[in-house]
């Protein structure tokens, strides 16, 4: 089968990156990717032999230029990021170096190389719904034109990178498409996010005798969750059919409380588990609710297909296999 094009995924060995790699390989793309030195490629086990993988720290401008010059991708999916919102408060400088600086280095590598820019059909920059910050119920669901009000170092860094991409598209004509992904989950997602944190604790609690208590942070927060496999499909579709200069939301268009997520996971547990809120697990600043308006993405022919219950079940099974 003839290749549909050469795609480069930064952060290919991570959670969403690995599922995107599987999606692109299945769709007939030639896929290359970058990972950090020493980073495991366990997530890529199913397709590792079909990938070209380079070591890259996006904080190095020279390394970014070298990798893009060598590969000359037709599509770039920029997923490499410091993505732990809670941990971003501990080292905001590092977050800015990776999320803003890394994006700048990649964009400059494209802009300064006529060969790289000449071969590029789309640069998909993946940002986050956290950039919207604290919004009122009247503003929901959030459309792409909603003003950004980031309230964490992570969200600030992603907003800065998002604005940078807009500038490089308008100033230099680079084929950049900005994607703002709402919460996504599924197997392989590492701890530090609500669903894998809860699923991992339940998997460990199932092995214990006696009373099993699941401690959680803010149960009242409401989020728009999508399965990572549906998200990977959306990334591919946006790259193939999206318009340069545009912004696309990826989400389910629905909200669910963390309390309900915890209750559903406990319902999937093999032994009874009780939920208790722990104030020590809350963040310095919480965003009460996020919900996506996905009208633009639906016009490209995308719909979420995997239910939240299936996502939770698959994630719990993944963590059971690891405890």
Q: Going residue by residue through the chain (323 aa), what tens digit of pLDDT does each one get?
A: 578 999 999 999 999 999 999 999 999 999 999 999 999 999 999 999 999 999 999 999 999 999 999 999 999 999 999 999 989 999 999 999 999 999 999 999 999 998 888 999 999 999 999 999 999 989 999 999 999 999 999 999 999 999 999 999 999 999 999 999 999 999 999 998 999 999 999 999 999 887 888 888 788 999 999 999 999 999 999 999 999 999 999 999 999 999 999 999 999 999 999 888 877 766 676 788 999 999 999 999 999 999 999 999 999 999 999 98
Q: How many CB atoms lie within 10 A of CB 286?
A: 13
Residue with token string 């199913």: 46
pLDDT at residue 283, as a whole number: 65
Strand duo 122-128 + 75-78: pairing: parallel
Residue with token string 């079940």: 313
Q: How many CB atoms lie within 10 A of CB 49?
A: 7
The domains found in the chain, sorted by start residue, are 6-185+225-253+293-298 (3.40.50.720), 194-222+255-290+306-320 (3.90.25.10)
CA distance 81 to 98: 6
pLDDT at residue 1, as a whole number: 59
298-302: list long-range contacts, CB under 8 Å, 24+ apart. 300/237, 300/238, 300/241, 300/242, 300/248, 301/237, 301/241, 302/233, 302/234, 302/237
CA distance 126 to 102: 12
Residues whose CB is less than 8 angstroms from the CB of residue 183 and which lie 6 or more positions away in sequence, other chains included: 129, 194, 223, 224, 225, 226, 251, 290
Residues whose CB is less than 8 angstroms from the CB of residue 5 and which lie 6 or more positions away in sequence, other chains included: 29, 30, 74, 75, 121
Beta strands in 11-121 (DSSP E): 30-35, 51-55, 75-78
Residue with token string 């965003």: 287
CA distances from 289 to 79, 172, 251 (A): 24, 36, 13
- Smallest CA-to-CA distance from 46 within 188, 209, 205 is with 188
The sheet that has 122-128: what strands, in order across it? 51-55, 30-35, 6-10, 75-78, 122-128, 176-181, 247-250
Q: How many CB atoms lie within 10 A of CB 221?
A: 19
């Amino acid at each position: 089968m003839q290749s549909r094009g050469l795609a480069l995924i930064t952060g290919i060995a991570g959670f969403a990156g690995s599922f995107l790699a599987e999606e692109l390989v299945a769709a007939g793309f030639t896929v290359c990717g970058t990972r950090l030195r020493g980073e495991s490629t366990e997530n890529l086990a199913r397709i590792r032999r079909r990938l070209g993988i380079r070591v890259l720290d996006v904080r190095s401008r020279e390394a970014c230029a070298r990798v893009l010059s060598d590969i000359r991708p037709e599509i770039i999916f920029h997923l490499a990021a410091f993505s732990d919102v809670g941990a971003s408060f501990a080292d905001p400088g590092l977050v800015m170096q990776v999320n803003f600086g890394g994006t700048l280095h990649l964009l400059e590598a494209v802009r300064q190389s006529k060969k790289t820019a000449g071969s590029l059909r789309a640069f998909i920059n993946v940002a986050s719904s956290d950039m919207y910050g604290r919004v009122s119920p009247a503003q929901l669901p959030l459309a792409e034109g909603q003003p950004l009000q980031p309230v964490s170092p992570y969200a600030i860094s992603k907003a800065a990178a998002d604005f940078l991409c807009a500038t490089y598209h308008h100033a230099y004509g680079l084929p950049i498409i900005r994607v703002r992904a709402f919460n996504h989950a599924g197997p392989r997602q590492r701890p530090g996010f609500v669903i894998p944190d809860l699923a991992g604790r339940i998997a460990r609690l199932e092995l214990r005798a006696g009373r099993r208590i699941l401690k959680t942070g803010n149960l009242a927060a409401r989020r728009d969750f999508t399965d990572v496999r549906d998200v990977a499909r959306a990334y591919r579709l946006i790259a193939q059919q999206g318009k340069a200069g545009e912004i696309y939301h990826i989400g389910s268009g629905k909200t669910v409380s963390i309390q309900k997520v915890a209750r559903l996971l406990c319902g999937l547990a093999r032994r009874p588990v009780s939920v208790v809120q722990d104030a020590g697990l809350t963040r310095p600043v919480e965003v009460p609710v996020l919900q996506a308006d996905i009208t633009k993405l639906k016009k490209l022919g995308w719909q979420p297909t995997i239910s939240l219950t299936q996502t939770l079940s698959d994630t719990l099974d993944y963590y059971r296999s690891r405890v």
